[in-house]
Amino acid sequence: MLDKIRVGIADKNPLVRAGLKQLLSEDERFELIVTCTDGEEFIVATTRLPIDVGVIGWVMSPGNGEYVLKKLREFQNAPRIAVYTGAEGIEIPAKVMALGGAGFCTKSEAPHTLLETIATLAEGRMVFPFMDINMIHDDPMSGLTRRERTILAELANGKTNAQIARDQGVSVNTVKFHLKNLYDKLNVRNRVQAVSRYLNPHGS
């Protein structure tokens, strides 16, 4: 039996929290680890509990979705985050992507869409609505985790995956996992393009 995907929830609305709890309990792929009422509580939970994927609201206090994403960038093994909100349009998903989030789903979509988003994130992929990458005005490097930034710098120095793995004290597969994530975030296809983006972050 495959390990269940460990999920953490943060949303200000008790009805949303209850609904998500029931939804996850009915799908054997998932295990709900913690339910939080705000971003601050969720950040604390991530330091104490083994969460694979976090599903968070965008408007919360204290600690909204933007705060959570910025804070998690400081952690080495942060959960992958999907923002689940009632807001429509592309401004928020573009911001979520720029801040290092891995997915976005609106509350107007069918419940199974969120479940598939969570499952996809757990596989190391990203889920966002179609958007022009040029809508993301922030520094493209800002969405990378500390480990991803370090690996990208190693790439720019010409090191191989094996050399990076040895330097970082991780497996080659872990390096490949981080590379795939940073390629997605930088909207590039290979290490040459990634290094080019690293050296010229605002270039075309």
Distances (CA, A) of 106 to 40, 134, 155: 22, 22, 36
Mean pLDDT across 65-89: 87
Structure pTM? 0.65
Q: What is the pLDDT of residue 130?
A: 62
Across the chain, mean pLDDT equals: 85
Closest C-alpha among 5, 99, 84 to residue 52:
5
Catalogue all structural domains in the chain, each as residue range(s) with its CATH number: 5-135 (3.40.50.2300), 140-199 (1.10.10.10)
